[in-house]
Chain A
């Protein structure tokens, strides 16, 4: 979580600079958000206004879903907080910002496809699942097999930030998502989760 915040801050810091370079580097150079390449339509003002006409809106929502997932995947962002600044939701070049209603609409659309989950009833923060929980579970199984941990014991924190996971997608994974994937595997009998004795951290006993 801390890492994700740091990344966001990082992106925010680089955002104004990259925006201005884009302005100078025209024509046909695409705008960037940190190291993330933005599509052309990001500078299309109606993209930032929730469209009232059904057909147009469906297409707009679809494009936002793709962009949010793309961005979160490359930037390793797991949680979007609606009340906080999110770099993708405003464009300083054309001076447009998504309304709260629009943000919620796009995240609701992601949630309806199982690509996002609300963390609270008030819809203030949202888990972005660019991999679904099942896909994360598969990644864990592959990670365990690749490293020969089939019968080993690990802590949850070790999976998230240990040496073994470095360079894999599991590195820096959101704890909530990881726990959900682990619980899914536990239901299938592929591992057991137990409370550690000395630390607050939970231990995992794999039996893949």
Chain B
């Protein structure tokens, strides 16, 4: 059945979870996947077919996906890629991509991490991908060949894992294989954060040289920058695995600086940015999903709402290369309506656009603003957007939007004077126009009078 292929993990917004250093290369839509003469298997119909440097991924295209139905074929298990036949017949058919995968004795696609040797009693099955959607099928095939021949998965294979997540490298992974933090001959054996920092220093020194090379032309710069991102990710992985293996000398301070470095490295970049080249017609859709995944951390930090411009800058900074245009950003955000993602685009009356959590509620913000403006000091002098920003823990521009919204709901009113633009609690509804001197003994109006009269 469907466990013929390995399962691929996807994020909540439907983007695949990539392995370490895995980069997305090409996407095709409307692809059916069917193994030839493997009758226990019901073909996967009309999905998104993604080529990465490590795997072939098939994702169901409908938005109502169950994460379990996404499948993966490690490129390592592919034994042959058939070149496309240019026959008269093929003109009338949907384009096909055929390749041969090794199958392990238990009837599943050979998994390089499963321990079976590719030579030992395995057989091959031909799998056909029928491309019914529009897309650059020939381009896909070229990239497919490239990725398969490059064998990127071999350069950073971790010891135990390979099933699907790949991220969970064990505590022992830090030694021997991988990143090259510990040299094989043992001459420079550095331990702990100090070692990492020193290594980092060395890295920067060598990078300095590579940067000089890189600036010679733009393409070179792009490829160098990509290397930088890879390096950063490698460092992060090292730190992750390091926490387990080097508990002896670890104190709180060490942990703190480790986390800091991790944060810093994470902010260096997105390993596999969705690009127009790789995604083609699916560009905005995939970009939209990636963006949804990306903004969740900054959103949390910003208290549930973030300026679109800020998100744009952060996102592009994370991508490093392959920058997107503001138009693409806007389009990607507008597509969120169609997907089941936890974030949404919101436009304020003033035209300012923000990204907010779907769970974000204005009522909660209003309640906080109300308690803010009813403090004695605010009753006397009002509040400025800066005051609100500090109390609410958000950006001043954002705070102003909240205040303006609260004003439009009749909660606040404005005061414009040489002192600036301030907001007060709205007293107007409480004043009786038939008797302008009358003040009720209760209510916000009398509270206000008390606050004002005690100011001296």
Contacts and interface: CB of A to CB of B under 8 A. Distances in A.
Interface of A: 26-28, 30, 37, 39-41, 43-46, 48-49, 51-53, 55-56, 59-60, 62-63, 66-67, 70, 95-96
Nearest to B424: A46
Interface stretch (B68-76, B156-164, B360-368, B413-421): B413-421
Contact of B417 (A41, A51, A70, A96): A96
Contacts of B422: 45
B215 interface: no
Counting chain B CB atoms within 10 Å of each CB, which of A37, A44, A62 scores highest?
A: A44
Chain B contact surface mostly = mixed
A63 B453 contact: no
Contacts of A63: 428, 431, 433, 436
Contact of B453 (A26, A44, A96): A26
Contacts of A43: 452
Given A40-B439, A53-B408, A56-B428, A48 B415 contact: yes
Contact of A45 (B408, B424, B454, B456): B424
Name the interface size band of chain B: 20 to 34
Interface of B: 382, 407-408, 410, 413-418, 422, 424, 426-429, 431, 433, 436-437, 439, 445, 448-450, 452-454, 456
Contacts of B427: 41, 44, 46
Contacts of B418: 95
The 3 closest A-B pairs by CB, nearest first: A27-B453, A45-B415, A46-B413
Contact of A53 (B382, B413, B454): B413
Counting chain B CB atoms within 10 Å of each CB, which of A28, A37, A49 scores highest?
A: A49
A48 B414 CA distance: 9
Contact of B415 (A26, A40, A46, A56): A46
A53 B410 contact: yes
A144 B431 CA distance: 41
A59 B434 CA distance: 12
Given A45-B382, A53-B410, A66 B436 contact: yes
A27 B454 contact: yes
Contact of A67 (B408, B413, B436, B449): B436
Counting chain B CB atoms within 10 Å of each CB, which of A45, A48, A95 scores highest?
A: A45
Contacts of B410: 53, 55-56
A37 B437 contact: yes
Given A26-B453, A59-B428, A49 B416 contact: yes
B424 A44 contact: yes
B153 to A, nearest CB: 61
Nearest to B418: A95
